[in-house]
């Protein structure tokens, strides 16, 4: 593991959850706990609860749950290790890494090697661009208006059409074909290896730390696809990064401008607009939106003005809006993209477009009006219903009134009619939140029967909530009985600590989250932990019995398979013994079910 259990516990102990979350959410005292508007989904009625005593949070609106580490992971879009480093830096703790396990060492070694080979590939592509072979690609790039300085700054290069140039270059450096496939630089077909990128202008994709994590390649002939990205690797996840984020994060401007393509972002940077990032395609993801929020609170979407661009902008708007970012949408006239517009009209004209960019609701109003005849009463009804739903999401009453007035003028109807429709959507949302809160209250009193969380997770949560359950659990449940193998180390750690007489809480098992595949299970455990306050003895019995029955059901299926095998082999004696075993297993199950 990257950091020792003791080091992680020290960091968590020094970061009180109320202090940390208060830097992102306005919390108010609500009985023994604190309440605020959830930062992970848009809401008007606070349903985000934080317990200082338990050092956990839970949202009754969207079911987000966690502790101080998972909060920072989600809000700052960080890995577990990065979140620990973030929290350590916050309180001035110097971290010391421990010796890695063999598995961790091999993964770290693979990641480091991919970074190195990608850097070598970048140099290879760059040099190839200025070779005789790359003349056509260089001509293409220069025709697009890019200067030598820009080409060098972004490391733009060229991949030859032959299919083995990069392969041979990297093999000479000691890299194997199988490794280069893992790095996303080679493809394999019928035991033949060849360069993944051929006859393309190459754009290195660089992360916030300056590592080359992948490439985007644009064809310079008619070959398809027009754009080809590195496949998913240990370091490249397309939906988690943004092109040019390594430069844009340094901007002095108070915003990011999100564009679709590499050339759009590069052209804006060349023109001095150094806050541009590209979403590596048309669909902005939640991870990309969280990465933006990590640096800026203001966003301007400048997607292409065609139908695909408008659809992508709408999807991006909803994702960014959920994260409470201040959003504007820049509409480029004449169907141009940012690259075309800035070359033809100049940087001052583009800056003017930024100044006149529509707010979220203004842009949606334009989109909703499109293809509607507002002289037609039926179309006016359609428009009002669409726009009212979005106006209802606004928490700012002044903004809401302004947009109601604007929508009423456009639809040629009285403001009160729009206001009534907006109120209908607002009330529907309030009723939904109240229903969630009511259901949450029921779960608190009947923890297992009304929840989809597995009984195994609830058992772990109950042990953390009430350590006195240890003896009762020890007599009936072992780690081998858990169906979810990922929960076994958590259960084992808790039982081991309790066996040693150590008081055990949520934060004592957080170090196990360095295995990233445990995060969602951990959040479920915290949700159940948060709801454990009024658990009845009967609920505890139900959970233990359910685990026992599930374990016996697995055992029963194994016995049945063994009986079939014995029957096929003609082993009558073994088959008879297994049938007795099966009968006993089913009796045990029946006994537990009947209490």
CATH number at residue 40: 3.90.580.10
Measured between its terminal Cα atoms, the distance across the chain in Å is 44
Please tell me the predicted confidence (pLDDT) of residue 595.
65
pLDDT of residue 294: 81
The CA–CA distances, whole Å, from 544 to 133, 430, 451, 467, 480 equal 70, 37, 15, 15, 14
Strand order through the sheet with 157-159: 157-159, 200-206, 212-219, 227-229
Note whether 456 and 565 are same-domain residues. Answer: yes
The answer, yes or no, to whether residue 19 has pLDDT greater than 90, is yes
Which residue in 325, 334, 412, 407 sits closest to 368, CA to CA? 407
CA 451 to chain centre: 24
Q: 98 lies in a domain?
A: no
Determine, yes or no, domain membership for 436: yes
Do residues 595 and 501 share a domain? yes
Residue 361, Cβ density class (10 Å: 0-12 exposed, 13-18 middle, ≥19 buried): buried
Residue 427: C-alpha distances to residues 14, 36, 276, 467 (Å)? 42, 20, 39, 43
Q: How far apart are CA 332 and CA 341, in angstroms?
A: 7
Residues 85 and 108 in one domain: no
CATH number for the domain that contains residue 210: 3.90.980.10
In a domain, 97, yes or no: no
Q: Kindly report, residue by residue over 228-256, the tens digit of the pLDDT.
A: 999 999 999 888 899 999 999 999 999 99
The top-scoring range by mean pLDDT among 92-101, 386-395, 556-565 is 556-565
| Cα atoms in the Cβ-side hemisphere of radius 13 Å centred on 415 | 7
Tell me what the mean pLDDT of segment 73-99 comes to: 84
Its pTM stands at 0.66
Task: Select the more confidently predicted residue: 271 or 430.
Answer: 271
Higher pLDDT, 446 or 269: 269
Final residue of a domain: which of 391, 418, 442? 442
Residue 319 is part of a domain; what is its CATH number? 3.40.1360.10
- Residue 440: the pLDDT is 35
Q: Domain check: are 158 and 186 in the same one?
A: yes
Last residue of a domain, one of 366, 387, 407: 366
Angstrom distance (rounded) from CA 357 to CA 300? 8
Q: Are residues 433 and 506 in the same domain?
A: no
Mean pLDDT over the full length of the chain: 85
* Of 520 and 255, the one with more pLDDT: 255
Q: Give mean pLDDT, residues 367-377.
A: 86
Rounded (10°) angle between helices 360-369 and 397-411: 20
CATH code of the domain in which 560 resides: 1.10.860.10
- 483 and 555 both lie in a single domain: yes
Q: Quickly list DSSP for 373-388.
A: -TTSHHHHHHHHHHHH
- For residues 8 and 508, give the distance between their C-alpha atoms in angstroms, rounded to a whole number: 9
Asked if residue 300 and residue 400 are part of one domain, the reply reads: no
CA angle 186, 192, 197 (to 5 degrees): 30
Q: Do 401 and 428 have their domain in common?
A: yes
For residue 345, is it within any domain? Answer: yes
- Determine, yes or no, domain membership for 96: no
167-185 pLDDT, tens digit per residue, is: 999 999 999 999 999 999 9
User: Could you tell me the pLDDT band of residue 439, with boundaries at 50, 70 and 90?
Assistant: very low
Q: Are residues 319 and 342 in the same domain?
A: yes
Same domain, 230 and 196: yes
What whole-number distance in Å separates Cα of residue 453 and Cα of residue 451? 6
Give the number of domains in the chain: 5
* Bridge partner residues of 49 (DSSP): 35, 58
Q: Give the mean model confidence (pLDDT) for residues 66-78.
A: 86
Predicted confidence (pLDDT) at residue 299 exceeds the cutoff of 60: yes
Which has the higher per-residue pLDDT, 103 or 570? 570
Q: What domain range includes position 525?
A: 446-595
Note whether 82 and 191 are same-domain residues: no
Angstrom distance (rounded) from CA 539 to CA 449: 8
Query: Could you give phi then psi for residue 468, rounded to 5 degrees?
Result: -70, -10
Please report whether residue 552 resides in a domain.
yes
- pLDDT of 103 higher than 80: no
Q: Are residues 261 and 405 in the same domain?
A: no
For 48-62, write each residue's pLDDT tens digit: 999 998 888 989 888
Res. 97: pLDDT tops 80: no
Any domain includes 29? yes
DSSP state at residue 272: T
Among candidate residues 301, 334, 366, the one where a domain is terminated: 366
* Alpha carbon distance 108, 114 (integer Å): 10
């Amino acid at each position: 593991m990257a950091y020792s259990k003791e080091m992680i516990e020290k960091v968590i102990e020094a970061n009180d959850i109320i202090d940390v979350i208060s830097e992102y959410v306005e919390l108010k005292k609500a009985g023994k706990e604190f309440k605020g508007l959830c930062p992970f989904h848009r809401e008007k009625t606070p349903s985000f609860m934080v317990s200082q005593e338990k050092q956990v949070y839970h949202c009754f609106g969207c079911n987000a749950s966690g502790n101080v580490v998972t909060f920072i992971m989600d809000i700052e879009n960080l890995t577990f290790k990065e979140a620990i480093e973030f929290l350590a830096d916050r309180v001035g703790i110097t971290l010391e890494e421990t010796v890695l396990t063999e598995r961790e060492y091999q993964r770290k070694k693979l990641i480091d090697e991919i970074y190195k080979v990608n850097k070598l590939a970048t140099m290879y592509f760059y040099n190839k661009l200025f070779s005789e072979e790359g003349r056509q690609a260089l001509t293409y790039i220069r025709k697009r208006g890019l200067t030598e300085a820009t080409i060098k700054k972004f490391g733009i290069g060229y991949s030859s059409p032959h299919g083995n140039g990069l392969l041979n270059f990297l093999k000479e450096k000691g890299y194997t074909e199988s490794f280069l496939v893992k790095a996303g630089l080679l493809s394999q077909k019928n035991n033949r290896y060849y360069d993944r990128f051929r006859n393309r202008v190459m754009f290195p994709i660089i992360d916030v730390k300056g590592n080359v994590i992948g490439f985007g390649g644009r064809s310079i002939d008619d070959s398809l696809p027009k754009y080809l990205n590195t496949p998913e690797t240990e370091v490249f996840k397309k939906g988690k990064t943004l092109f040019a984020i390594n430069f844009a994060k340094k901007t002095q401007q108070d915003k990011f401008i999100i564009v679709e393509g590499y050339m759009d972002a590069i052209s804006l940077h060349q023109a001095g607009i150094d806050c541009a990032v590209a979403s590596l395609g048309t669909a902005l993801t939640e991870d990309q939106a969280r990465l933006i929020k990590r640096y800026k609170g203001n966003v301007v979407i400048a997607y292409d003005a065609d139908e695909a661009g408008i659809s992508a902008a709408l999807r991006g708007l909803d994702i960014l809006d959920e994260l409470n970012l201040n959003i504007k949408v820049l509409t480029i006239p004449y169907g141009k993209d940012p690259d075309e517009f800035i070359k033809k009209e100049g940087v001052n004209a583009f800056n003017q477009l930024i100044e006149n960019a529509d707010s979220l609701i203004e842009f949606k109003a334009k989109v909703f009006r499109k293809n509607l005849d507002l002289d037609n009463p039926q179309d006016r009804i359609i428009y009002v219903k669409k726009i009212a739903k979005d106006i209802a999401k606004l928490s700012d009453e002044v903004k809401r009134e302004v947009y109601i007035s604007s929508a009423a003028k456009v639809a040629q109807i009285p403001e009160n009619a729009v206001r009534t429709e907006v109120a209908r959507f607002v009330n529907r949302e309030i009723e939904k939140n109240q229903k969630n809160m009511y259901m949450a209250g029921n779960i608190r009193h009947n923890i297992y029967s009304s929840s989809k969380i597995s009984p195994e997770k609830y058992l772990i949560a109950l042990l953390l909530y009430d350590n006195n359950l240890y003896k009762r659990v020890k007599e009936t449940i072992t780690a081998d009985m858990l169906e979810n193998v990922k929960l076994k180390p958590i259960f084992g750690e808790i039982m081991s600590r309790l066996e040693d007489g150590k008081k055990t809480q949520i934060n004592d098992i957080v170090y196990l989250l360095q295995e990233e595949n445990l995060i969602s299970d951990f959040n479920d455990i915290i949700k159940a932990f948060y709801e454990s306050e009024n658990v009845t003895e009967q609920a505890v019995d139900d959970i233990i019995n359910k685990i026992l029955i599930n374990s016996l059901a697995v055992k029963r299926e194994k016995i049945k398979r063994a009986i079939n095998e014995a029957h096929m082999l003609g082993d009558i004696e073994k088959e008879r013994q297994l049938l007795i075993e099966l009968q006993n297993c089913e009796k045990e199950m029946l006994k537990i079910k009947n209490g």
